[in-house]
Amino acid sequence: MKQIYLAITLFLFTSVAAIGQDKSGLELMSHKGNQFKYISEGSKVSVYKYGKKYKGNLKVLSDKAILINSDTILVSQIQQLCVQTPSSQLGGLGLAVPGAFISGGGLALLGAGIIQAEGFLILMGIVMSPITAIGIFGTIKGVQLLSRGKKFSSSRWKYTIAVVPPAVK
């Protein structure tokens, strides 16, 4: 019984120690200085450097360079960074699905107003056109969030390598 207890205790202590390790990542600070984002190592990212796109998992090499798949990229060369996080994917679904229903319903009602072709055509055109446009816009933005992730441009964000404990950020 003592051996089982010691084995479980040893396992718990080593797992807590492994979780508590510092994890490297990319820290983003807005130029205004009021927002911070932390992208941990291993996250799916797309990096744009001089018009070329590098897509893969983020790995920190040094305090000035990152590795995307087998490509080494200096942090100072990053022009735009797109990050796929669970929150951006959930937000993308939250925009795309209702947007599709709103735009589909708007188009159906607009089509019904055209078929009736009485006095409802003008009323349906005035009322349903903006609602349909909002639905289409929401669907497009949702699909962009799902496929690309959240975009961080170097004109608004400053990129630095940081070692931060996962519990802090």
Going from N- to C-terminal start, the domains of the chain cover: 2-83+152-164, 87-147
Alpha-carbon distances, residue 3 vs 6, 7, 8, 9 (angstroms): 5, 6, 9, 10
Give pLDDT tens digits for 61-85. 888 888 888 888 888 888 888 888 7
Return the exposure string of 2-39: e unless at least 16 CB atoms fall within 10 Å of the residue's CB, then b: eeeeeeeeeeeeeeeeeeeeebbbbbbeeeeeeeebeb
Q: For residues 73 and 26, what is the distance between their CA atoms, to the nearest angstrom?
A: 13
Strands ordered across the beta sheet of 157-164: 36-40, 23-30, 157-164
Give pLDDT tens digits for 113-152. 777 766 666 777 777 788 888 899 999 988 888 887 788 8
Q: For residues 51 and 115, what is the distance between their CA atoms, to the nearest angstrom?
A: 48
Residues 86, 78 contacting (CB under 8 angstroms): no
**Residue percentage of the chain with pLDDT more than 90:** 4
